[in-house]
Structures are given as structure tokens and as C-alpha cells.
């Protein structure tokens, strides 16, 4: 059982977790071998968080337990109707060994917004942050210390009630698993090539585009395969009005030659915390920052005329990635590359890894 300060926003007392240790936990030697080259999303730590919710009982039975398969009734609503949401956030090891995460309150609030849209219960933000602390308290040794390495934390929530009727589930599970992650780009950041999805959308008007939910990712898989067939790394989607939306899992940012930074704004875009942080750092440097509709025509014409001088994508996993090429069914536009994307990337990762002052108070210590 661990106690942390009660939530200043709601006055909620912290949850009292029951911890059961994994008797088959990896040895230090096995773990260290994994941490040399962890890749992404393939290895998992020894424990996971599991909290239940029900209509009558609210949030209950908070546990840290051995990582392992879940037992689900085959009628569990998530398997049929996709009532599921998730988050992605990293834990970083600083040079002094301490472990920090980045703006977890923002991820907690976003999980609440996603929950509202998917008719799932809203986990209090203080419980969300506590769930990350509880997992890191027991699996902290899994936070790697190599350059650009981190422990990727994956909180998620789904409908586990066994019921085939169509309505919001009365029983829900919230979990956190963790996976050590290596440097996203081996041998330096490389610009990515982007395929323009002309036949498929990831979200529609009034749909779930702004929620972090598995269904949006399911909808992006076929267009992503089309991108691979066309020798592109990623896919970019347009909204119903022909405006640029985002990639399958990253937001898009345009840099104009007068220094203005523009990111597409639309109710169907997932509001990235990396994007928000990068735009804040750019504003701190004196850049004008705008969120507004950007049509495909504005993008292509801006690149052709030299008005747009850089285009990049951003998200927690890859941080900031310059876009090198935009390819469509009947065109290939080379994209201009500059210094700003990489310099903002460096500033952000310096803050995350404790190498630069955290002026905005974005870091939250997870251990100790």
C-alpha cells in the first residue's frame, strides 16, 4: 500500500493499492539484456495495474499484480463493439537516476475526454497519476538509462461486461502496462515519407477522431498498408472538407517563412501533448503560433512557392519527425527541411531527460 498526497483538485483520497509480486519476475541479468536494445512495444515489465469500475461500485479493487494474460468473458462488450480508450506516456531516467514523467495531468484529462466520448467512466486525474507511480514503484528498474531510451507507459480502459446488448457497459477495467522503448531513430532522426490517403478517412464529422480509441487505429490500418505499398512510411488523412487532419498517430505542424507556425485545428484531430508542448516552446522563442484549418492546396502551394519552409509530425513515441516527402496518387512533392523541427525536438527532449531547465513545470517525479 502506498499513500500520496490527496488530489488538490477534487480532494479525493488516494487509492489503497494491493500489491502482489510477480514470483516469476525476470532476473536483473535478463532485464538488463532486454534494456540493451528494447525496440518498441515488444517487451513488457513484470507487473501491471488493474482497477475495476462498476455502475454500483465506482472505482474499486486497485491492484498491482504480475503482468500476464487477462481472463475475459467471450461476450465482453469490448470484443464486439470496441468500447475502449488508451493513453501513451513515457517515464524518463535522469542522470542522477531519478525517474520522471511529462505532463501526466494532460494525459489524465485527455483520458477523461476520451472516456466521455466512448461512454466510459472518467478516471479521476489523481488516480491516473497515482497508477503510473504505483507501477514505477515496483518496476522502476525497467526504466532504461541509455540515450533516448524510456519506459513507455500504456494506460487503457475497456468494457468488460458480458452483455451483447448495445449500451454503455456496466463493468469496466482500467489497466496500465509498461514497455521499455529504445531510441525511435537509430543513427539520427530521419525525415519520413507520407502517403496522402485520398480514399479513406480516419474519422468523420461528429465521430471519434479526437478520442484516443482503438477504433480510429483500426480504421487507419488499411490506408497505412496502402502507404507501405507506395513506399511511404506513414499516411496523412484529410477531413471531410479536404483540410489536413493528421497522421495515423501523430499531429502535423507547418513552419512558414515569416516564422509563423501553423497546426491544423479541427474537432476530429487528436490533441497531442507533444504538439502542445512544441508549440509552447516555439512561442517562448517568439514564434507566432496558429491553430486553424489548412487545406491540401495551401500545403502543396505553400511548398511550391517557398512560403512553407518546414513540415513535421509529432507525438510521444517519435517526439518530432521531419516530413521529407508527400506522395499522392498522381504527385510526389519533396518537402523543404530546416533546422527548427530538430532544434525544438532537442529542447523538448532536453527538458524530458533533465538536461535543461523545466521552466513550465512539466516534469513530475515518479519514484521516491
Question: Judged by CB under 6 A, does residue 272 bind ligand PLP?
Answer: yes
Q: Which is nearer to ligand PLP, 234 or 335 (CB)?
A: 234
In angstroms, the CA 96 to CA 36 distance is: 19
- Cβ within 8 Å of residue 51, ≥6 positions away: 15, 59, 60, 61, 62, 63, 123, 127, 131, 173, 174, 175
Candidate ranges 41-49, 51-59, 61-69, 242-250; the one touching ligand PLP (CB under 6 A): 242-250
Candidate ranges 38-46, 141-149, 248-256, 360-368; the one touching ligand PLP (CB under 6 A): 248-256
In angstroms, the CA 102 to CA 280 distance is: 14
Question: Judged by CB under 6 A, does residue 249 bind ligand PLP?
Answer: yes
Q: Which is nearer to ligand PLP, 43 or 251 (CB)?
A: 251
Q: Would you say 193 and 233 are in contact if contact means Cβ atoms under 8 Å apart?
A: yes
Exposed, middle or buried, 166 (CB in 10 Å: 0-12/13-18/19+)? exposed
In angstroms, the CA 92 to CA 358 distance is: 14
Interface residue with ligand PLP among 82, 88, 291, 336 (CB under 6 A) is: 88
Q: How far is the CB of 131 from ligand PLP (least distance, A)?
A: 17
Q: How far is the CB of 184 from ligand PLP (least distance, A)?
A: 12
| Residue 321 cell numbers, joined | 519527425
- Cβ within 8 Å of residue 188, ≥6 positions away: none
Interface residue with ligand PLP among 273, 309, 318, 348 (CB under 6 A) is: 273
Q: Which is nearer to ligand PLP, 64 or 278 (CB)?
A: 278
Q: How far is the CB of 251 from ligand PLP (least distance, A)?
A: 5
Interface residue with ligand PLP among 47, 133, 212, 287 (CB under 6 A) is: 212
- Of 128, 124, 129, 19, the C-alpha closest to 66 is 19
Question: Judged by CB under 6 A, does residue 274 bind ligand PLP?
Answer: yes
Residue 27: alpha-carbon gap to chain centroid = 29
Question: Judged by CB under 6 A, does residue 278 bind ligand PLP?
Answer: no
Q: How far is the CB of 88 from ligand PLP (least distance, A)?
A: 5
Exposed, middle or buried, 313 (CB in 10 Å: 0-12/13-18/19+)? buried
Candidate ranges 23-31, 247-255, 283-291, 333-341; the one touching ligand PLP (CB under 6 A): 247-255
Interface residue with ligand PLP among 192, 270, 323, 366 (CB under 6 A) is: 270
Q: Would you say 157 and 120 are in contact if contact means Cβ atoms under 8 Å apart?
A: yes
Q: How far is the CB of 261 from ligand PLP (least distance, A)?
A: 16
Interface residue with ligand PLP among 250, 261, 309, 351 (CB under 6 A) is: 250
Q: Would you say 210 and 269 are in contact if contact means Cβ atoms under 8 Å apart?
A: yes
Q: What is the DSSP string of 251-271?
A: EEEEEETTS-EEEE--TTS--
Candidate ranges 54-62, 144-152, 270-278, 358-366; the one touching ligand PLP (CB under 6 A): 270-278
Q: Which helix (H) or strand (E) holds 242?
A: none
Question: Judged by CB under 6 A, does residue 316 bind ligand PLP?
Answer: yes
Would you tell me which residues interact with ligand PLP (CB under 6 A)? 88, 212, 246, 249-251, 270, 272-275, 315-316
Amino acid at each position: 500500500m502506498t499513500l500520496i498526497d490527496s488530489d488538490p483538485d477534487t480532494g479525493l483520497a488516494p487509492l489503497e493499492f494491493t500489491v502482489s509480486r510477480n514470483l516469476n519476475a525476470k532476473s536483473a541479468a535478463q532485464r538488463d539484456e532486454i534494456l540493451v536494445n528494447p525496440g518498441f512495444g515488444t517487451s513488457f515489465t513484470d507487473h501491471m495495474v488493474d482497477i475495476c469500475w462498476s455502475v454500483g461500485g465506482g472505482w474499486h479493487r486497485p491492484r498491482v499484480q504480475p503482468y500476464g494474460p487477462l481472463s475475459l468473458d467471450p461476450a465482453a462488450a469490448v470484443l464486439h463493439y470496441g468500447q475502449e480508450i488508451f493513453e501513451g506516456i513515457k517515464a524518463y531516467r535522469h542522470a542522477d537516476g531519478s525517474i520522471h514523467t511529462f505532463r501526466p495531468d494532460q494525459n489524465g484529462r485527455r483520458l477523461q475526454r476520451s472516456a466521455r466520448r466512448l461512454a466510459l467512466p472518467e478516471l479521476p486525474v489523481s488516480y491516473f497519476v497515482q497508477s503510473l507511480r504505483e507501477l514505477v514503484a515496483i518496476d522502476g528498474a525497467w526504466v532504461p538509462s541509455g540515450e533516448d531510451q524510456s519506459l513507455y507507459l500504456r494506460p487503457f480502459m475497456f468494457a468488460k461486461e458480458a452483455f451483447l446488448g448495445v449500451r454503455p457497459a456496466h463493468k469496466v477495467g482500467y489497466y496500465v502496462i509498461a514497455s521499455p522503448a529504445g531510441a525511435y531513430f537509430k543513427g539520427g532522426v530521419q525525415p519520413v515519407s507520407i502517403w496522402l490517403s485520398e480514399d479513406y478517412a480516419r474519422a468523420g464529422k461528429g465521430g471519434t477522431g479526437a478520442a484516443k480509441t482503438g477504433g480510429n487505429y483500426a480504421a487507419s490500418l488499411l490506408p497505412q498498408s496502402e502507404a507501405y505499398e507506395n513506399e511511404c512510411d506513414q499516411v496523412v488523412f484529410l477531413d471531410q472538407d479536404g483540410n489536413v487532419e493528421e497522421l495515423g498517430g501523430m499531429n502535423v505542424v507547418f513552419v512558414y517563412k515569416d516564422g509563423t507556425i501553423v497546426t491544423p485545428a479541427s474537432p476530429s484531430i487528436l490533441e497531442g501533448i507533444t504538439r502542445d508542448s512544441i508549440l509552447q516552446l516555439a512561442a517562448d522563442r517568439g514564434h507566432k503560433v496558429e491553430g486553424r484549418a489548412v487545406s491540401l492546396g495551401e500545403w502543396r502551394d505553400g511548398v511550391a512557392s517557398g512560403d512553407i519552409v518546414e513540415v513535421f509530425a509529432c507525438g510521444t513515441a517519435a517526439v518530432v519527425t521531419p516530413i521529407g516527402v508527400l506522395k499522392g496518387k498522381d504527385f510526389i512533392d519533396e518537402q523543404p527541411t530546416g533546422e527548427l523541427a530538430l532544434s525544438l525536438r532537442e529542447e523538448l527532449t532536453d527538458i524530458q531527460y533533465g538536461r535543461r531547465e523545466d521552466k513550465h513545470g512539466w516534469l513530475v517525479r515518479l519514484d521516491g
